[in-house]
Every structure is written in structure tokens, then in C-alpha cells.
Amino acid sequence: MTLAGKTAIVTGGASGLGEACVRALAAAKCTVIIADLHEAKGEALAHELGALTQFCRTDVCDEADVMAALDEVGRLDIAIHCAGIATAERALGKDGPLPLDRFERVLRVNVIGTFNVNRLAAALMSKNDTGPDGERGVIVNTSSVAAYDGQVGQAAYAASKGAVASMTLPLAREFARFGIRVLSIAPGLFATPLLAGLPDEAMKQLAATIPFPSRLGDPAEFAALALHMIQNRMLNGEVVRLDGALRMAPR
């Protein structure tokens, strides 16, 4: 798929990996909806990038919210789903078992939110005229290396990102008849707001666990992979690790 002139939605687009994707798409002359709960950041980013971008406050778990964001574009070619939450809580901590509602919240945002965006984005994409090879659209989701080697305290997060990885192939197979590709990226340790609050020494220790390059990933590198996936039509149904060969230790 060529990018110029296409229309995209990026969930979690106000910061971190999502913001990098918004910037890359806008630079490629795509019209972009920034779908996020963070109004101040989203509005500021849309104002900075100009007429091709628009912010829409969106809870990805809410059908009406996602539909409202999609209504802003009319047609949809690209969906990059970066919205999600990360937690680190033991299933059995010093205060006893993890409250079930906290586990449910992670799965609701990361799994139900992903499925909700995928099904609604695909429904809109399916109405497009076909392009080369009969293509109508591309969806790129965000999994995590935690799906494969989650650490102690990551049971909820690893389960949720494992679900994102696992739904990639069946959705790709299902949406193939509409000419819609589905892919996922499983990032390792990236320099996002999630890690920005850590002390410098902690950041150095994290970077040292990555074989090469021994540094945190740049969100622009995530965006570059997402855009390559969109443009390479033979990529479909795949989860790609983007982690510098990181394999996380148990703790």
C-alpha cells in the first residue's frame, strides 16, 4: 500500500509509540485521526502537525467512542493500535492474592480494546474499493516481548499481550476475503513515557540487558516498522519482535 493520500487512525496516538506513528504517517502525507484519552497531548500534537491530523478523545473499549472516531474519517485505509496499559503486580503479593478487578482491567483495555478496534476498523475498511492485489486496508496491533518471556509480576500484562499476538493470525485469515491484512509488533524496551520516569541508573541497567544495540528502542523505530508493514503486501498474519535480541530474565 502506498501511503500518500491514505487515511489512518492511531489509537494511543497522543504519546509514545502511537505518537511516533502519527508523526511518521503525517510526514508521509496521510490523513490521521489521533485516538486517545489524553486530550491535552492529543490536541497539542494535532495542532503541531497541522491540517492532516485531528484529535478525537477515544476509549478503545467503548464501541461508541471508536465509532465516533472512525466517523471523522469517512473511509479508512490504515489502523495502528497502540493504546494499552502496562502493570507489574504479583498474582500473590505480600497483601495476598491480586484483586481480580485489577487483572480484569488489564485484559479489558489490552485485549477487548484491541479486538474492538480491529472489528470496527475492518468493517469500515471492507467498504473500500480494492487496490493492487485486491487490498482494502491494513491493521497493525501492538503486542510485547512479554507475550513470550514475561517476568515475575507480569502475569496480567503477559496474558493480555499474548492474546494480541494470538489473535493476529486468525484475524488475518478471517479478513483476507475482504483484502485486509492484520499484523502485530512485539516491542521490547522502548523509550516511552512508561519508562521516562525511571532514574538514569535504572535506565542504564535496562539498556544493558539488550544484546545489540544496547540501548532502549526509539519510538521512531517502531513507527518505521509499522509503516514498512503497511507498504509490504506480503506481510500478513505475522507478529514481529522489535527488541534488539532481548530475552527477558524471569525477574
Could you state, in order of their start, the residue ranges of all structural domains in the chain? Answer: 7-242
Question: Per-residue confidence at 240, pLDDT binned at 50, 70, 90?
Answer: very high
Whole-angstrom Cα distance, residue 82 to residue 106?
Answer: 14
Which amino acid appears at position 55 of this protein? F
Which amino acid appears at position 122 of this protein? A
Question: 213 preceded by cis ω (within 30°)?
Answer: yes
Which of the 8 DSSP states describes residue 62? -
pLDDT of residue 198: 61
Residues 24, 223 contacting (CB under 8 angstroms): yes
> Has 157 been annotated as catalytic?
yes
What percent of the chain clears pLDDT 90, i.e. is strictly above it? Answer: 87
pLDDT of residue 57: 98
Q: Whole-prediction pTM value?
A: 0.95
Selected catalytic residue, list 55, 103, 115, 157: 157
pLDDT average, residue stretch 204-229: 94
pLDDT at 202 over 90: no
Whole-angstrom Cα distance, residue 106 to residue 120?
Answer: 21
Q: Which residue matches cell numbers 497531548?
A: 41
Question: Per-residue confidence at 196, pLDDT binned at 50, 70, 90?
Answer: low
Whole-angstrom Cα distance, residue 90 to residue 103?
Answer: 10
In which element (H, E) is residue 107 found?
helix 100-107
At the topology level of CATH, where does 7-242 sit? Rossmann fold (3.40.50)
* Lookup: cell for 71: 466517523
Q: Within 10 Å of residue 237's Cβ, how many Cβ atoms?
A: 16
Whole-angstrom Cα distance, residue 47 to residue 186?
Answer: 30
pLDDT of residue 197: 61
